[in-house]
Chains A and B, each alone.
Chain A
Amino acid sequence: MAEEKSKAMNVSLEATAKAAADTRAVAEFRNVSRIYRMGDNEVHALDDVSCRFNAGDYWAIMGSSGSGKSTMLNLLGCIDRPTNGEYYVSGTAVSTLNDDDLSELRGRHIGFIFQSFNLIPQLNVLENILVPRFYLEDPGIGLVERARDIAERVGLGSRTDHRPRELSGGQQQRVAIARALINDPSLLLADEATGNLDTQTTEEILELFDELHSDGMTILLVTHEEEVGKRAEQVMRLKDGAIESVAYNRPTIQR
C-alpha cells in the first residue's frame, strides 16, 4: 500500500524532478527509505537517504555490517526497490519500471562485480564475459571481438577459452570485471570486490579500478576495508541506515 502511494506521488513529482536533476547524475537517491517488515517489527535499513553520484565519480561506500550498505547496493543495482522515495538511474525513475524494463535497465546501465566473482561454471571465459550482452533486447554484432578487447583490457590476455575453475581468484575477478564492462554501463558496482583476494591481488584489482576510473568510468565500491576505501576519491560512510559522513580523499583526477 505504502509503496503504491509513493509510486503515485513520484509519478506526479517526476516531471519537476527530472528538470531539476543534474545532467551529470548517473544515480540519484531522493528521500529513499527501505523498510523490511519482519513480523510486527519494521526494520529501517535505509531511512530517508538522499545523495547523488555523478558521471566519472569514484566512490567508496563504507560502514559496518547493519549500516545499510548492502541495502544501498541492492537499490543502486536495481535488484531491489525503495519502499519510499525515488531512485533515478541516468534520469529514469526506477519505480515507473516493470520487472522486464528493470532487467533491461540493469543490463544496460549497471555493471555488477561480486565478492565471490559469481562466474557461471559451465561457461568459458569468453562466454561468461558475454552473458549480459545476450540478455539485451539487441545484442548487436562483433561481440566476440569486443569481448576479446575487454578481456585484453582487464589483463586476461589470451586465457579466454578456460573455464572459471581453471583460473586463480584474481583472474576470475578480472573476468567478472570484463563481464561488468561488456555492455558499457553507466555505473560499475563493486560489492566487496577484493574481499576474497590476497593483498597482492587486491592491489592489482584496485589498480585496474584506477585505470577504469581514469578512462571515465563511474565506480562505486562497497567495502568495509579502510585500505580499499582510501583508494576511492570520495568516501560515504553509512551508519544505522543513514549517511554519517561524506569525505574527499584526494582531488578529482583532471580530465
Chain B
Amino acid sequence: MIKNPFLRTFSLGVKSLLLHKLRSGLTTLGMLFGVASVVAMLAIGEGASKEAQDQIKQLGSNNIILRSVKPLEESNSNQSTRVSVYGLTDGDFARIVDTYPWAEDVVPVRILQQEVRFGERSLNPRVLATTAKYQSVTGRPMLEGRFLTESDEETVSNVCVLDYEIARYLFPFRSPINERIKIGADYFLVVGVMLPRVPIGEANQAAPGEEVTGEVILPASTGRKWFGDMQVKIRAGSRDMEQVDLHEIIVGVDSSENVPAAAAAAREMLDRTHRERDYEIVVPLELLLREQATKRIFKIVLASIAGISLLVGGIGIMNVMLATVTERTREIGVRRALGAKKRHIVMQFLVETIVLSVGGGVLGIALGLTIPEVVAAYTDMQPVVTPAAPILAFAISVGTGLLFGMYPAWRAANMDPVEALRHE
C-alpha cells in the first residue's frame, strides 16, 4: 500500500487508464505526435539557420568586404580584343588606410587565375595575392606551418600558403610543407596549410570527383611581380583583358558596434570616387542580422504548426477525459459519499490527464529526437537539437495536460453526489 498521497493518486490514475488500454493509447498518440513535431521542427529549424549563419561567420562578422564587380558590358562591343579597367583601386585602399578611424586592419586582395600544379596533379583554384594581415582579419587558423609574414612581402619571396582541401588534393599522402608547387610558370615554396574558419563538418567535405574548393595565397608583392596587373581571359573567339587593381579590400573593424558606421562611410566614399558601380560592399554582420530575423520568422511558423498539433492533441485528451468522467459518474458519486472532497476528485482526474499528456510527451520527445537523426542520415541537412527543445516540449506537455484536464476534472468534482450515485 502506497503511503504518499500523491504517489497513490498517481498509481490510481495509471490503474484507471490501464482499464482502457486502447483508448488511453490512442489519446497518448495524439500528444506524442504533437510533442515530436515540436522537438523535430525546432531541431530542423535550428539546423537550417545554423548552416546559413556558419557561412556568414566564415566571412567574419567584424569585417566589411569591398569587392570589385565588372560593370555591365556595352552591347556593341564586338571587338576581339579589348581591355576593361574597373574595380577598386590602389587609391581606394590608401584612402581607407589613411582616413578610417575604425579600421584595425585593411587587407588588399587580388585574385589571380592561375594553374596550380604539383607533379601530375593540377588545379585551377583562386590564387589570392594579399598581405600578412589576411589571416588575422579572416580569423582562419593554421593547420600546419606558418602564414605569410611582412618580410615575405618585403623580400618578394616565392612562398605560398595552401587551403586545407587543396593541400589534401595536391599532397594526398604527405605534408606539403617545404614542397615546391608550380603556380603559372614559376615555383613557389609551400610554407603553411590553412583551415577554414568554421570547422569542416562531414557534410562540407568535397566528395571524390567534386570540385576542390579553396585558395592558394601568395604575398601581394610577389603576385604583382610575377603576374602583373593585367589578367587575360581567353574565351571562344575573343580575348578579354581585365585590369583590376584590387579585387577585394577586407576591412577589419575594431568592434562590431562600429560596423554599420564603417559600412556607411565606405559606401559614401566609394560612391564619391567611382563613376560606375564597379564595386559592391558585403557586410557579413548585416547578413547575419538579416539571417537572424529570417530565423525568427521561420521559428514562429514552425512553432505555430507545432502548436496547432499540440492543440489538437490537447483537445483529444480533453474529449477522452470528458467521456471518462461521464462514464465514471457513479464512481465519483461513491467516492464523494465515502468522504472525498472536491479537491480529491479534481486531483484524481487531473493526474490522469497529466499521466496521459506527459506519457505522450516523453514518447514524443524520444520520437522527436529520432527524426533529426533520420533527417541527418538521409539528407545534407544537419539538424541541431538544442537542450532547450526537449525541456520546452516536456513543459508544454505538462501544461497541455493541466490546461485541458482542468475542465473535465472541475466537472467531475462539481457533480451532485446524489445525482452521481443514481447514475447508471
Given the interface contacts A79-B417, A79-B421, A121-B19, does A108 sit within 8 Å of B1 by beta carbon?
no
Question: Which residue of chain A is the closest to B15 with respect to CB atoms?
Answer: A122
A70 CA to B339 CA in the complex, in Å?
19
Q: B313-352 toward A: CB 8 Å interface, digit per residue (1/0)?
A: 0000000000000000011001111111111100000000
Within 8 Å CB of A144, what residues of B?
A: 1
Q: A107-142 toward B: CB 8 Å interface, digit per residue (1/0)?
A: 110101010001011110011001110111000000
Does A74 belong to the interface (CB within 8 Å)?
yes
B172 CB, nearest partner CB in chain A, Å: 70
Within 8 Å CB of B341, what residues of A?
A: 99-100, 103-104, 135
Within 8 Å CB of A143, what residues of B?
A: 1
Given the interface contacts A104-B341, A118-B330, A122-B19, does A79 sit within 8 Å of B336 by beta carbon?
yes
Within 8 Å CB of A79, what residues of B?
A: 336-337, 417-418, 421
Does A170 belong to the interface (CB within 8 Å)?
no
A30 CA to B78 CA in the complex, in Å?
119
- Report yes or no: A107 in contact with B334, Cβ–Cβ below 8 A: no
A120 CA to B19 CA in the complex, in Å?
12
Q: B1-32 toward A: CB 8 Å interface, digit per residue (1/0)?
A: 10001001000100110110000000000000
Q: How many A-B residue pairs have CB under 8 A?
A: 70
Secondary structure of the B side of the interface?
helix
A65 CA to B18 CA in the complex, in Å?
39
Q: By the criterion of a CB under 8 Å from any partner CB, how many residues of chain B are at the interface?
A: 24
A126 CA to B19 CA in the complex, in Å?
18
Does A171 belong to the interface (CB within 8 Å)?
no
- Report yes or no: A130 in contact with B1, Cβ–Cβ below 8 A: yes
- Report yes or no: B337 in contact with A112, Cβ–Cβ below 8 A: yes
- Report yes or no: A99 in contact with B338, Cβ–Cβ below 8 A: no
Does A194 belong to the interface (CB within 8 Å)?
no
A99 CA to B336 CA in the complex, in Å?
10
Partner of A74, one of B334, B343, B418: B418
Does A80 belong to the interface (CB within 8 Å)?
yes
Secondary structure of the A side of the interface?
helix
A183 CA to B337 CA in the complex, in Å?
13
Does A77 belong to the interface (CB within 8 Å)?
yes
A74 CA to B333 CA in the complex, in Å?
12
Interface size grouping (class) on chain A? 20 to 34
- Report yes or no: A107 in contact with B339, Cβ–Cβ below 8 A: yes
Q: A194-207 toward B: CB 8 Å interface, digit per residue (1/0)?
A: 00000000000000
Given the interface contacts A108-B339, A122-B12, does A135 sit within 8 Å of B418 by beta carbon?
no
- Report yes or no: A112 in contact with B342, Cβ–Cβ below 8 A: no
- Report yes or no: A136 in contact with B1, Cβ–Cβ below 8 A: no
Question: Which residue of chain B is the closest to A80 with respect to CB atoms?
Answer: B418
A104 CA to B339 CA in the complex, in Å?
6
- Report yes or no: A99 in contact with B339, Cβ–Cβ below 8 A: no
- Report yes or no: B19 in contact with A103, Cβ–Cβ below 8 A: no
A175 CB, nearest partner CB in chain B, Å: 13
Within 8 Å CB of B336, what residues of A?
A: 79, 103, 106
- Report yes or no: B418 in contact with A112, Cβ–Cβ below 8 A: no
A99 CA to B12 CA in the complex, in Å?
24
- Report yes or no: B418 in contact with A123, Cβ–Cβ below 8 A: no
- Report yes or no: A107 in contact with B12, Cβ–Cβ below 8 A: no
- Report yes or no: B338 in contact with A135, Cβ–Cβ below 8 A: yes
Does A179 belong to the interface (CB within 8 Å)?
yes
Question: Which residue of chain B is the closest to A182 with respect to CB atoms?
Answer: B338
Within 8 A of A (CB), among B371-424: 417-418, 421
A99 CB, nearest partner CB in chain B, Å: 6
B288 CB, nearest partner CB in chain A, Å: 58
A189 CB, nearest partner CB in chain B, Å: 9
Question: A79-B418, A106-B339, A108-B339 provided; 19 other pairs, C-beta below 8 A?
Answer: A79-B336, A79-B421, A80-B417, A80-B418, A99-B341, A99-B342, A100-B341, A103-B336, A103-B342, A104-B339, A104-B341, A107-B338, A112-B337, A118-B331, A120-B331, A120-B335, A122-B12, A122-B15, A143-B1
15 examples of A-B residue contacts, CB within 8 angstroms: A99-B342, A103-B341, A104-B339, A106-B338, A112-B338, A120-B335, A122-B18, A123-B12, A123-B15, A127-B1, A130-B1, A131-B335, A132-B339, A135-B339, A183-B339
Binding site for A on B (CB under 8 A): 1, 5, 8, 12, 15-16, 18-19, 330-331, 334-344, 417-418, 421
